[in-house]
Amino acid sequence: MVYLFFDTETTGLPAGPVSDYQNWPRIIQIAWLLIDENKNIKSKNSFIIRPEGYTIPRRVIKIHGITMKRAIEEGVALEHALHRFLGDSNYADVLVAHNIAYDYGVIRGEMLRKKIPDFLKWHSQFCTMTSKPVLDYCKSFRLNGSRQCPSLSELYFLLFGEKLVNAHDALIDAEACANCFFELKRIGLV
């Protein structure tokens, strides 16, 4: 079994269904790891995307720290990053993300903008935020017993007893997602 763990940093939140992709946020950073069931990393990538026809809002710069200047200087063309991501997805059995509906939706929106076919829809998916075993696990730690979806930082802390450092960098978050997934698997919840 091979897993593709991925995360995006974006211009914000969606303003409608993914079919209305013009109202979905733009990718500022995309990162992923292709890892087999023995935890061997087959591929590890992170790309900052050069903005094309949009600006990065200040409110999100405060979250992920990627400025327009940095994105212009260090960024790659969106098509390059998407084709690399889709190439690695060909080797994956399962797509895994924390809030996969959002990250997949953002990627799908960008693919629609670029008229790239959605080959990802054929993959199995697992979400480390919304899956029932994760919600049940997190509920057991909450004093009020709520089944609220955990943030990646919260899940990481519950599983490892450590704070997630440098969250909101897509590669750090994809690595944390992978670590959480394999720990959930180790303790029998996946």
pLDDT of residue 137: 86
pLDDT of residue 19: 78
pLDDT of residue 119: 85
d(C-alpha 138, C-alpha 189), whole Å: 12
Closest by CA to 105, choosing from 14, 3, 4, 9, is: 14
pLDDT in tens, 59-116: 999 999 999 999 999 999 999 999 999 999 999 999 999 999 999 999 999 999 999 9
Query: Sign (positive/negative) of CA torsion 96, 100, 103, 104?
Result: positive
d(C-alpha 180, C-alpha 185), whole Å: 8
**Average pLDDT of 19-24?**
84
Domain boundaries, the chain: 2-186
**HSE toward the beta carbon, residue 46, CA cutoff 13 A:** 12
Closest by CA to 169, choosing from 3, 61, 72, 29, is: 29
Fold topology of 2-186: Nucleotidyltransferase; domain 5 (3.30.420)
